[in-house]
Structure 1
Amino acid sequence: MAAQAWNRIHIAQCLGERGGGRSPAEEFGPLATKFQRRLIVGVGSASLVAVGANFAGITTFLLGFSPQTARNLKLDVLYPIAGYSRCFDPKEGFEFIYPANWVGDQTVLYRATKRREIERSLDPPPLNPRPRSSVNEPLVAFGPPGSTGELNVSLIVSPVAQDFSIEAFGGADEVGEAVIRSITGSGQRPDVKGTLVKSSLREDLVRNVKYYEIEFRVESPSFRRHNVSVCCARGGRLFTLNAQAPESAWPRFKSDFYTIADSFTLLST
């Protein structure tokens, strides 16, 4: 008993010398507070990293609470929002959204990379350059992974006269019929038939752009496809966005196609 009493006195004296008579709770209270603050900061930093990296889809989930606001901020260029990603090209002056699970067409990406390499090359141009193909290739194209190209969305930008006007063809229906004639070769390809489903005009009064939205079917002995296209012109360039799907797949993708077409916009110049 005497030894135990002596130990208690010795411990009390040691604590008194170290803490000035304070209890252990009082002495270690500031340290606990500092540890709690660091823990909170650490958790907050980890949360920011998780959001920034879209870990486990956290960012996409959060942005889904206000998809239109997030799209207005162009956040869908980085993170899918409500099932869609954004193709944003300020250099060419356009943007549109497409299904987030679609990927870029590898052939189009390869050709675009080769064009950029040629543009940046320090070598002199060849003395006998090959003539450029008269067939316009898509500037961008997206489709489901592993698809054969029958289901995709693509954009072609073609040079036209500075005074070119789509309105010269007439109203939305006349423009639609003109597009179908260009596809079927104005009757020169009797095995290919085109049928206009519907057409409409969407006007952007702020940017002074008219978008002709056209839905049509194209069929031949070897295929039947459903298309939704958007045509507009500005500054000597004709923009043609086209989303196509096999007719059998149309019911599953019609909502996506309408969303893509409605989102296509030329950027302010």
Structure 2
Amino acid sequence: MKWGGQQPSSRRFALSTLAGTAVALGGNLGGITTQLLGLDGGKLAERLQLDAVYPVRGLKRCVDGVYGFEFQYPASWLADQTVAYRAAQRAEASRALDMPPLARPPRQRPNVYEPVAAYGPAGSSGEENVSVIVAPIFEGFSLSAMGSPEKVATQFLATIAPEGSAKEAHLLSASMEYTVKGPNFARHNLSVITSK
């Protein structure tokens, strides 16, 4: 290999080799980064949170530093674009440089708590997904004040499938695993409720 009629310098060769290696690892070319990070069972990737970028052993990790949660999901799943779009809109509105219009006050949305993160299989309509909803809690609130898991789950299901709604909800376990069936859908859900 010659460069302009002469051998390339060893420095240039070393730099181009390092650059090529960095591109291959950074771009996960051929899945090499995924394979390397999985060699120790994914422990290094988890500690450095690299599994949020590169799939490791078939899973990726969602890490949210704002709300303080993290979970793993199948690497083939994609982020819900509606959730991402709404988050971008909220961020844009919070740092807008333009003054609000004087003609009419800005429209306020009611207190509706939407997912802050959601992932699901590509091409699905949401039947199978994992999502996180964050809502404020009252000062001094504790989960034990809500009552037993069975009581909380029963009250929750009564709001999802109230009498006369043509929906049926069945509690599968006290860990908030339940099914909901309506005229046009059937869902099997597992809910986790936590507080800080």
Query: Shorter-normalised TM-score: what interval?
Result: 0.7 to 0.9
Distance in 1 between residues matched to 2:50 and 2:174, nearest whole Å: 31
Specify which of 65, 70, 92 is matched with residue 95 of structure 1.
70
DSSP 3-state at the match of 1:159: coil
Inter-partner Cα distance in structure 2 for 1:111 and 1:39: 47
Matched pairs, number: 186
Query: What is aligned with 1:60?
Result: 34
CA contact (8 A) 2:42 2:57 kept: no
- Deviation digits for residues 160-212 of structure 1 (CA, Å, limit 9, x no counterpart): 31222221122333333233223224x3x441121111234xxxxxxxxxxxx
- Where structure 1 has 5 or more consecutive residues not aligned to the other structure, the ranges are 1-31, 201-213, 235-269
Aligned to 1:121: 96
Cα displacement (A) at 1:40: 7.3
**Identity of matched residues, %:** 44
How far apart in 1 are the matches of 2:100 and 2:70? 32
Q: 1:147 aligns with which of 124, 138, 145?
A: 124
Cα distance in 2 for residues equivalent to 1:193 and 1:177: 12
Higher RCO structure, 1 or 2 (CA under 8 Å, sep 6+): 1
Pairing 1:7-86 to 2, within 5 Å after superposition: 43=17, 46-69=20-43, 70-86=45-61
Among candidates 140, 150, 165, match of residue 173 of structure 1: 150
Map 1:86-235 → 2, pairs under 5 A: 86-125=61-100, 128-185=105-162, 187=163, 189-200=164-175, 214-234=176-196
Q: Which moved more, 1:225-234 or 1:157-166?
A: 157-166
C-alpha change, 1:131 and 1:49, in structure 2 (3 Å) is: closer
State the SS of the aligned residue for 2:115: coil
Higher relative strand content:
1
Point out 4+ residue stretches in structure 1 off by more than 6 angstroms: 37-41
Where structure 2 has 5 or more consecutive residues not aligned to the other structure, the ranges are: 1-6
Hey, which of these two has a bigger chunk of helix by percent?
1
Amino acid at match of 1:218: V
Separation in 1, partners of 2:50, 2:124? 27
For residues 244-259 of structure 1, the aligned pairs below 5 Å read none
Looking at structure 2, the residues matched to 116 and 76 of structure 1 have their Cα atoms a distance apart, in angstroms, of: 25
TM-score, normalised via structure 2 length: 0.81
**Under a length normalisation based on structure 1, what TM-score does the superposition of the two structures give?**
0.61
CA deviation after TM superposition for structure 1 residue 76, in Å: 0.6
Q: Deviations over 1:229-249 (max 9, x none)?
A: 111122xxxxxxxxxxxxxxx
The amino acid that maps onto 2:31 is G
Q: d(CA) in 1 for partners of 2:46 and 2:155?
A: 33
Cα drift, residue 117 of structure 1: 0.8
Distance 1:123 1:42, change over 3 A: closer
SS in 2 for 1:145: coil
